[in-house]
Amino acid sequence: MNLQPRSTLSDVFGSINEVQRCRSKTVALKELSDMSCVLFTAASNSVDSAFRAAHAAQIDLPSTAGEYVTRSGRMAIWLSPRSWLIRCRIGDEAALVTELNDELPDGLAHAVPYTDALCWLELSGPDALDYLTEGSFISLEVSGLRIGHAKRTLIAQIVAVIVRHERNIWQMGVERSRAQYFVDWLTPAADSHR
């Protein structure tokens, strides 16, 4: 049997696909199914474990809340003092998990595949912030989430990892089973901005 992977919103896996029903003149929503993810967790807040993991992953692991680091097609996002999400290219997930676990075989740190857990969406355009805050209580203003930072938070009552790349570009990793709900939550905002 040869399974053909599909994205969360039933597009071709491994590509970037625009979500048409959530588009206006000032905002575009895209599903980013062109990346994989690995969750890396350490049992202790050990600088040595983070350093060794960074060496194996070939990217520095951020040490401060809200930071993310990019390098060579990878992004390491700080989730907690002992856990990071590492985004990588499609097909690199298994090798990255192996490299991390081989580097720290003592069991005090562990890497697991995480691609199937999250659906990544990108909301861009001058009204993107309005979309995200419509009907929501969270603050995503510059003081709440600066450009070049990430945050794990609730949005539309869904746990999400939000990355703010630029002033009007937001990437969100939402629980895969709630991705359609999240898009449906954004749709009324799109309708009000057409």
Do 129 and 178 share a domain, yes or no? yes
Listed residue (134, 191, 132) closest to 163, CA to CA: 132
Residue 104 shares a structural domain with residue 83: yes
pLDDT (tens place) for every residue of the chain, 194 residues total: 333 455 666 555 555 666 655 667 788 888 888 889 999 998 877 777 888 889 899 999 998 888 899 998 899 999 988 899 999 998 899 999 999 999 988 878 899 999 888 999 998 888 888 877 775 555 555 466 788 889 888 888 888 899 988 888 989 999 988 888 888 888 765 555 55
Residues 6+ apart with CB under 8 A from 154: 138, 160
Q: What CATH number has the domain bearing residue 105?
A: 3.30.70.1520
CA separation for the pair 16, 13 (Å, rounded): 8
pLDDT at 29: 86
122: domain CATH number is 3.30.1360.120
Q: What pLDDT is stored for residue 111 in this prediction?
A: 94
What's the total number of domains in the chain?
Answer: 2
Asked if residue 137 and residue 41 are part of one domain, the reply reads: no
pLDDT of residue 70: 93
pLDDT score of 4 = 45
Let me know whether 82 and 44 are in one domain: yes
pTM of the model: 0.82
